[in-house]
Chain A
Amino acid sequence: MALPRSFKKALWVFHVATGSCNGCDIEIIAALTPRYDAERFGIMLTGTPRHADVLLVTGPVTKPMLPRLKRIYDQTPDPKAVIVVGGCGCTGGVFYESYNVVGPVDEVIPVDIYVPGCPCRPEAIIDGVVKAVTKLETLEKAGVSG
């Protein structure tokens, strides 16, 4: 999948923390603020999943957050892409043996892009979002609509 010459629309991202340690969460904000400035591509955090194209999930999914995460996934309109940011969301990471963690994010909702790292750098997060662009364009070509 190659990156298109221009983005068809500005990507709006909803960030949901499912028990993450804040490490990736602050790097996501860092990615959006002037040093890394993902907003220049029209990538913006939105306040509600109903406006989002991309779901950015951090954290290993704790038991109380499980129904919330499923609900937020259902609230996000199609076509959508799900990005997991951080090692604990990708595999369980350091929290793998916890009694209150239901496992990596992909055991709960379908995941398209994994951004590993504990925590991952802002560059890696931007790379993940760019990959989500190609994924969404592929979905659009396949005729998946909201």
Chain B
Amino acid sequence: MNNQSIKLEVGGSTACYTVPVGPVHPALKEPIRFHFDLDGEQIVGVDIKPGFAHRGIEYMGMRRNLIQTLYLSERICGICSISHPLAFTQAVENAAGIAVPPRAQYIRTIIGELERIHSHILWAGVGAHELGFDTLLHLTWNVREKCMDLLEELTGNRVDYAIPIFGGVRRDIPAEKAPLAVEALGYYKGLLDQLVDTFLHDKSIEMRTRGIGALTYDQAVELCAVGPVTRAAGVPKDVRQDMPYLAYADMDIKAITPRDLGVEPTGDVYDNIIVRLLEVAQSIEIIEFCLENLPEGEITSIPKVPALLAALKNAEGEGIGRHEAPRGEVIHYVRLVEGQDEMAAWKVKAPTYSNLMSWVPKFLGDEVADIPIIAASIDPCMCCMDRVHIADETGTTSEKTKAELVRLSREKTRRICG
């Protein structure tokens, strides 16, 4: 990838040396490689080399029948493990003309929003860890377990829920399970003020994130950023608001920007924290609405699997499915050909793919010690994103290790806190 076209001028200086980071890399655990051009401590150039987690999922999906591929789509990413199936089922239903009963649409929405809650809390913990605030990592991940318990209770699994199927969902939410959800939501409501207070009013977090990794409104629009990254820059873009689907059409969803908290958006890491925390509150409201208004009726329009497979085999057409995943918009495109078990074409566009280039303006001008938190700020998801394989087998020497970067990051926290 080439960053020449959007390279910013920083003090008119030229790069003195290049530091490669990764592919076993500083933020999260997934492989990606960065090349940073540095002038002293300041980053003056960035190059990104993705592709290490590419598994050829689209290729495999086009060799299996659609129900097998549904479970494969779940394994595009373990954190977005309902987002991809939701977009994929909508694409296939769109192509094959299969209707989804209202109750199934509400159940899909509930599980989708629960995933957003656990994913945003997960991100907050990872962000705290990158700043050297491990106490907060443990606090947030402890809080997250309540959501995991609820997901396990409703779906049978902590990760990879296997809930959507073409034409509905595989598991109902019976009336006796609803109080569990209400209780868990109450738990998060009571905790939200504390989380907001801890993250947004802590002096060291504010000093390490304010003005770091900034992204302007224009850059966000120009680079087609999606999800919390673009909303933190003040762009009110949200699939749930712009093109309502599932149960979102029955609600009045507004894209959340830092303005909701009275903060003028700058797209920096602090604004990213604001947006994600406020979205947890929004998700709680959405789930409450869905539970109160859960329609009666069937949970799937074609309950028998052989009948479903036959219907899919006889279908012909193209379809697109969109979903606002925790990280932004995910799009699936499928083409079905009559008389064929497998798809003729499948294309996945994950949110990190759109957000990747926003890393460049975010990194430029900041310091080496800020690399981990800026890398984490877009909540990157390589396994979602690595749809294209770019092999890079050169220059593995003199890399900065994760330990070294974390040490630098921690030293900076100590330094600016005095």
Indicate, yes or no, whether A interacts with B: yes
Q: Which residues in A have their C-beta under 8 angstroms from that of B77?
A: 21-23
CB distance from A28 to the nearest CB of B (A): 8
B169 interface contact, C-beta 8 A: no
Of A20, A51, A118, the contact of B383 (CB 8 Å cutoff): A20
B127 interface contact, C-beta 8 A: no
Smallest Cβ-Cβ distance to B129: which chain A residue: A29
Roughly how many angstroms separate A16 CA and B138 CA in the complex, as a whole number?
A: 21
A94 & B72 in contact (Cβ 8 Å cutoff): yes
A68 & B158 in contact (Cβ 8 Å cutoff): no
Interface band, chain B: 35 or more
Within 8 A of A (CB), among B105-158: 122, 125, 137-138, 141-142, 144-145, 148, 158
A23 & B159 in contact (Cβ 8 Å cutoff): yes
A71 & B396 in contact (Cβ 8 Å cutoff): yes
B53 & A17 in contact (Cβ 8 Å cutoff): yes
A-B contact count (CB 8 A): 139
A64 & B78 in contact (Cβ 8 Å cutoff): no
A30 & B141 in contact (Cβ 8 Å cutoff): yes
A15 & B29 in contact (Cβ 8 Å cutoff): yes
Within 8 A of A (CB), among B37-80: 51-57, 59-60, 63, 71-72, 75-79
Roughly how many angstroms separate A23 CA and B160 CA in the complex, as a whole number?
A: 8
Q: Which residues in B have their C-beta under 8 angstroms from that of A62?
A: 52-55
Of B81, B396, B406, the contact of A47 (CB 8 Å cutoff): B406
CB distance from B250 to the nearest CB of A (A): 31
A65 interface contact, C-beta 8 A: yes
A67 & B393 in contact (Cβ 8 Å cutoff): yes
A47-B406, A63-B391 are contacts. A22–B401 as well, Cβ < 8 Å? no
Q: Which residues in A have their C-beta under 8 angstroms from that of B57?
A: 95, 98
Roughly how many angstroms separate A145 CA and B72 CA in the complex, as a whole number?
A: 42
B416 interface contact, C-beta 8 A: no
A119 interface contact, C-beta 8 A: yes
Q: Which residues in A have their C-beta under 8 angstroms from that of B145?
A: 30, 35
Question: What per-residue 1/0 map shows which CB atoms of A78-103 lie under 8 Å from chain B?
Answer: 00000000001000001101111100
A26 & B142 in contact (Cβ 8 Å cutoff): no
B403 interface contact, C-beta 8 A: yes
Give 12 A-B pairs besides A26-B79, A48-B401, A119-B158 with Cβ atoms closer than 8 angstroms. Answer: A17-B53, A20-B383, A28-B29, A30-B144, A33-B138, A33-B141, A48-B403, A51-B403, A64-B52, A65-B31, A67-B393, A98-B57
Interface residues of A (CB under 8 A from B): 15-30, 33-35, 46-48, 51, 58-60, 62-65, 67-68, 71-72, 88, 94-95, 97-101, 118-119, 121
